[in-house]
Structure 1
Amino acid sequence: MEGLQRCFVLHSRPYSETSLILDVFSEDAGRLTLLSKGARRKRSNLKGALQPFTPLFMKWSGKGSMPVLTHAEPISIGLPMRSYILYSAMYVNELLARVVEPNTPYQVLFLDYLNVLRELAQAENPEPALRRFELALLDHLGYGVDFFHCAGSGLPVDDTMTYNYREQRGFIASLTIGQLTFTGEQLKAIAARRFETPEQLRAAKRFTRIALKPFLGGKPLKSRELFIPRGRSTGK
């Protein structure tokens, strides 16, 4: 690898007595795992830098499953994530670590990630930012769905009608109401990624959970478990 790349640390874990294994999201290289030798030593100049939500310039060398970090420097101070917003940001990091293929460039997704961190750092309610990021992530994963037309008839969706979601098909007009049911007005809000009412946000959350489930598999997200005892909505 040549030159510095813009990166974020998604997660880190101890390796031996002095080193760290880093899950990193890079603008040009995508998601990758790096070994940071000596990063846990008391006098390491990397110790305070390798934190989530801190934009970094990074450089590494070597091939194989775990290249070695050779340089890291903060581009700016870390984006501030206060109280419950922190857990929403941790959820975003876990999503990337779980569903994005390693060593695959995602330059546009990197910008979407940077945008959601900026939004979360300023948000009182994290839900709109999280829903927009989830929908962007689904787009980058190739999850295509038509929110504007009934998959059965091909007609444009009507704001007042209800549509049931069918995996790999889309939304089909139906009078049956359930967890897979959305109004035409909700579908248009999801497509536009603009959520002006609580009902639109709840519908978007239902849809993204349904759509992300095949990518996540049966393993629960650890970041969701952090909020269970607190009884407060995280937006996840």
Structure 2
Amino acid sequence: MEWTGEGLLIGVRRHGETSVIAEAMVVGRGRWLGLVRGGRSRKLTATLQPGNSVQLVWRARLEDHLGAFAVELLQARASALFADRNRLYLSQLLCDHLHLLPERDPHDRLLAHALRLLDGEIDAADVARFELMLLDELGFGLDLTHCAATGRTSNLTHVSPKSGRAVSQEAAEPYKDKLLPLPELLFGTAPADDEALRQAFALTGFFLDRHVWGARNIDPPPTRDALVDQLVQSA
């Protein structure tokens, strides 16, 4: 078995004395792992950094085997990430989020969004939208298209923490203390001020904790709170 593709490195761990197991999000193939023989060498260490884009050739005797990667650097981002704390935290957060996806299941929309975040200006609202998309790709998407109580498609201001469905301002009024605010910036229709950003990340964090972190008994990404604080302060 053999294939060739482009991927974003999202993790590397040691294997034996000289090799590593690399983890990448591959276009058309999803999250894929492979052994890189000699991956701890000086020649390959700089290439095998999370956040770099690489050309991969994967080979295995059988499709369900771990297989081995041959790796060629396409775009080096690691050095720039280490020079900018916010970009470094962003890269680590994106890699942690992508690691939640099932193996060998394509998620090209999410990968494209991650690459856009890594290569462009840091857009705090777009980071929150990435988390919203992540929930959707994991099968826990929120229904923000219409009000759960009235069916209205406009003036949606809150989300039910139980159902994950939007609620209009009028229907939410008697229950506001039990609902989660839904900032308009998640729809791309309002400026990303500090209050709206905190509401957006509180919303995505609530459902990530319920459906993913808590359900899998894992901790949230360690850089997430620090990155959110920095993004909100600079909004």
- TM-score, normalization: structure 2? 0.80
Local SS of the residue matching 2:55: strand
For residue 191 of structure 1, what is the aligned residue in structure 2?
187
Give me the whole-angstrom Cα distance separating, in 2, the residues matched to 1:24 and 1:140.
Answer: 17
Task: Specify which structure has the higher proportion of helix.
Answer: 2
| Residue deviations 1:166-211 (CA, integer Å, cap 9, x gap) | 433513423333373326xx2x432337543222212211111122
1:29-48 paired onto structure 2 within 5 Å? 29-42=29-42, 45-48=43-46
For residue 56 of structure 1, what is the aligned residue in structure 2?
54
Local SS of the residue matching 1:151: coil
Give me the whole-angstrom Cα distance separating, in 2, the residues matched to 1:193 and 1:111.
Answer: 22
Q: Size of the alignment, in residue pairs?
A: 220
Unaligned runs of 5+ in 1: none
Quick one: structure 1 residues 17 and 11, their matched pair in 2 at CA, closer, same or farther if it must change by over 3 Å? Answer: same
1:54-93 paired onto structure 2 within 5 Å? 54-62=52-60, 63-69=63-69, 71-78=70-77, 80-81=80-81, 82-93=84-95
Q: Which letter does structure 1 place at the counterpart of 2:127?
A: L
Give me the whole-angstrom Cα distance separating, in 1, the residues matched to 2:212 and 2:224.
Answer: 19
For residue 118 of structure 2, what is the aligned residue in structure 1?
117
Local SS of the residue matching 1:112: helix
For residue 6 of structure 2, what is the aligned residue in structure 1?
6
Query: Of 204, 209, 212, which aligns to 2:208?
Result: 212
- TM-score, normalization: structure 1? 0.80
**Contact 1:149–1:155 under 8 Å retained in 2:** yes
| Residue deviations 1:81-101 (CA, integer Å, cap 9, x gap) | 212331122011001102x11
Percent of matched pairs sharing the same residue? 23
1:164-175 paired onto structure 2 within 5 Å? 164-168=159-163, 170-172=165-167, 173-174=171-172, 175=174
**Contact 1:21–1:35 under 8 Å retained in 2:** yes
For residue 21 of structure 1, what is the aligned residue in structure 2?
21
**Contact 1:15–1:21 under 8 Å retained in 2:** yes
Quick one: structure 1 residues 90 and 141, their matched pair in 2 at CA, closer, same or farther if it must change by over 3 Å? Answer: same
Unaligned runs of 5+ in 2: none
Give me the whole-angstrom Cα distance separating, in 2, the residues matched to 1:149 and 1:226.
Answer: 30
Give me the whole-angstrom Cα distance separating, in 1, the residues matched to 2:118 and 2:228.
Answer: 20
| Residue deviations 1:3-57 (CA, integer Å, cap 9, x gap) | 4211111111111110111121111211022111111134xx3222111111110
For residue 132 of structure 1, what is the aligned residue in structure 2?
129
Quick one: structure 1 residues 39 and 142, their matched pair in 2 at CA, closer, same or farther if it must change by over 3 Å? Answer: same
Q: Which letter does structure 2 place at the counterpart of 1:30?
A: G
For residue 199 of structure 2, what is the aligned residue in structure 1?
203
Q: Which letter does structure 2 place at the counterpart of 1:4?
A: T
- 4+ long deviations beyond 6 Å: none
